[in-house]
Structure 1
Amino acid sequence: MCGIVGLFLKDEALRPDLGRLLSEMLVTMTDRGPDSAGIAIYGAETPGRTKITVQSPAPARDFPGLAEALAAATGSAVEIARRDTHGVLTVAEDAAAAVRAALTTVAPEVRVMGVGAAVEIFKEVGKPADVVRRFGVAAMAGTHGIGHTRMATESAVTTLGAHPFSTGPDQCLVHNGSLSNHNNVRRVLRHRGARFETENDSEVAAAYLTDAMAGGRDLGAALAGALADLDGFFTFVVGTRSGFGVLRDPIACKPAVMAETDAYVAFGSEYRALAGLPGIETARVWEPEPATVYFWDHARAA
């Protein structure tokens, strides 16, 4: 039993409030999963630059001088913005791969949470209120975001086991449910070169989408493929550079509710996560259908 939230802003006037609204939604879901929590925020982009969100178990040791060491190792300028146990590295787009490779030797205990032009991913062990406070999420602006609060059932309570899980550049996934065939899928994906850092079945779902898209499928086709290839009960909410999508399994026993107005589209595991949103009284509220891919995209709306 975990809690998922998502918020896609149509109204640009709401963008400064994204972090605050998403934080409030997530905190409301605390009793669905108080073990760990995380949020992905899609914020401002800088042309030609990529953001690499990293996490350290010992930030006081790893973060001082990290940008300078990476710059020396790669010959490319690196900036770092520290947020508690996480840091957001900003690098030239064409240097991102080299910086990620250099991390393994410059700071081997630092882990990459996500990479992209827009996304920043923050997750830690603890209750949602504590996690969003530590990272200052309420002050973050952006176009859309997703969040998750976890009740661990099949793997340890760790930072790496928290959601969201990255599924590619500017793309990540949160999951409520349980996959019954994740060990078999993990073995298949390992044979194809995938690497796993946890025993979490949600990491398998994220790796499945990454593998499917690497094989030429777009996100919609990859999500549709999950209906055939992933067994169990699940609700996925996926964030991308320009939008977010929702998918429930064919039985859809996990709770889910959506709301849409002229200003936003919102998702919550329960309606109470949406109850504080502006204009919710006049929103179109519905339960997403089983085995149906929903997607909202700023690029298509532009």
Structure 2
Amino acid sequence: MCGIVGLFLKDKSLEPQLGELLSGMLGTMCGRGPDSAGFAVYGEGEKGETKLTLRAAEGYDFKALAAKLGDGIDVVARATHAVLTVPAGREAEIRAQLAEVAPDVTVVGAGARMELYKEVGMPTDVAVRFDLAKMSGTHGVAHTRMATESAVTTNGAHPFSTGLDQCLVHNGSLSNHRTVRRNLEKAGVKVQTENDSEVAAGYLTWRMKEGRTLGEALEDSLNDLDGFYTFVVGTESGFGVLRDPIACKPAVMAETDQYVAFGSEYRALAGLPGIENAKIFEPEPAKVYFWDRAAA
């Protein structure tokens, strides 16, 4: 089952509303996945800095943790998550420190602009818990999960991120993810959970490390990933969509001069501004769709 939504803004004037719009889209997908939810938002970033999104137990003192890591570390806590902003040149050092002084804290995402949040619970509650409606940015993706093949845990919730400013949400199932996982391990790409969706995210990271663009990596996945799936992917500057060659999972898109939007069902798009004038279409099977701010 599961539900996916994504929103890529072309119109800068809508950026303060990104979180509010994405929250509304996410809320309509509760029926497709009430077990857990998550989202990634691409907001402002500063040159020379990296955002590390951390997750820990309820009530964890993230400010005290930041103090242990030394000067020049900014922290913003949101419920069970926090975003540490660190000098980009110290990222590896900070990760090593975290592993030593806070082994119970997980890094769920990293990048110049991406912040990533996910938890168990109704999608509407998860959105409120992390104040999604108050976030601004250029684009974002979100996911509601119905756990049919693994336990209902935060680790199993989407999005999954295995590369800087890169994340993936997935509706479907991969039949060869064990084989792909072994190949990723040999290539040095870490996959931390048992979820096949993280394997898909890791696959894209692996191909891009080999010099492929995201679009090319998505094309490669049509040959290397077996199963039925819809992927919605976010990068620092872009937003991509891919359905498998059979395309049995539902998907609908809307495009206007102001935005591109994706939903597992049309009702996720119905509340967007100007939707009555949008080009509404179903993405074709085995076709890569990608929009990039850098090319705008």
> Structure 1-normalised TM-score?
0.96
Amino acid at match of 1:173: L
Shift of 1:58: 4.2
Instruction: Measure how far apart 1:95 and its partner are.
Output: 1.0
User: Contact 1:155/1:198 (CA < 8 Å) preserved in 2?
Assistant: no
Match of 1:70 in 2: 69
Question: How many angstroms does 1:185 deviate by?
Answer: 1.1
Counterpart pick for 1:186 among 175, 181, 184: 181
- Distance of 1:114 and 1:143 partners within structure 2: 18
Mapping 1:18-33, distance limit 5 Å: 18-33=18-33
1:271 aligned partner, one-letter code = Y
Structure 2 residue aligned with 1:230: 225
Report the counterpart of residue 215 of structure 1 in structure 2.
210
1:285 alignment counterpart = 280
Q: Matched residues in 2 for 1:34 and 1:197: separation?
A: 23
Q: Summarize the alignment of residues 30-49 of structure 1 with structure 2, pairs less than 5 Å apart.
A: 30-49=30-49
Aligned partner letter, 2:4: I
Within 5 Å, give how 1:63-142 maps onto structure 2. Answer: 63-71=62-70, 77-142=72-137
Look up the SS of the partner of 1:217 in the other structure. Answer: coil
Question: Aligned letter for 1:91?
Answer: V
1:154–1:201: 8 Å Cα contact kept in structure 2? Answer: no
Equivalent position of 1:195 in the other structure: 190
One-letter amino acid of the structure 1 residue matched with residue 69 of structure 2: L
Deviations 1:26-81 (A, max 9, x none): 11001101111001000011122111100002443x4241111112xxxx521110
- Give the Å deviation of 1:97: 1.6
Q: Is the 8 A contact 1:114 1:121 kept in 2?
A: yes
> 2 CA distance for matches of 1:195 and 1:48?
25
CA contact (8 A) 1:59 1:86 kept: no
Q: d(CA) in 1 for partners of 2:257 and 2:291?
A: 13
C-alpha RMSD of the superposition: 1.0
Retained in 1: the 8 A contact 2:168–2:231?
A: yes
Shift of 1:173: 0.3
- Partner residue, 2:154: 159
- 1:78, 1:90 within 8 Å by CA — same for their partners in 2? yes
3-state SS of the aligned residue for 1:122? Answer: strand
2:55 aligns with: 55
Q: Given that residues 162 and 190 in structure 2 are in contact (C-alpha distance below 8 angstroms), is that contact kept between their aligned partners in structure 1? A: no
Contact 1:256 1:268 in 2 (8 A): yes
Whether contact under 8 Å (1:154, 1:199) holds in the other structure is no
Separation of aligned partners in 1, 2:239 and 2:214: 10
SS at match of 1:196: coil
Q: Which runs of 5+ in 1 are unaligned?
A: none
Which SS does the other structure have where 1:82 is aligned? strand
Q: CA deviation at 1:187?
A: 1.8
C-alpha deviation, 1:157, in angstroms: 1.3
CA–CA separation in structure 1 for the residues paired with 2:185 and 2:48:
33
The offset of 1:191, in angstroms, is: 2.4
Counterpart CA distance in 1 for 2:189 and 2:53 is 20
Amino acid corresponding to residue 288 of structure 1 in structure 2: P
AA paired with 2:238? G
Cα distance in 1 between the residues matched to 2:165 and 2:59: 24
Q: Count residues with an aligned counterpart.
A: 296
Amino acid at match of 1:28: T
Deviation at 1:193?
A: 2.5
SS of residue matched to 1:65: helix
User: What is the match of residue 292 of structure 2?
Assistant: 297
* Counterparts of 1:80 and 1:64, CA distance in 2: 7
State the Cα distance separating 1:138 from its structure 2 match.
0.3
Take 1:16 and 1:64, find their aligned partners in 2: how far apart are those partners? 27
The residue type equivalent to 1:14 in the other structure is: L
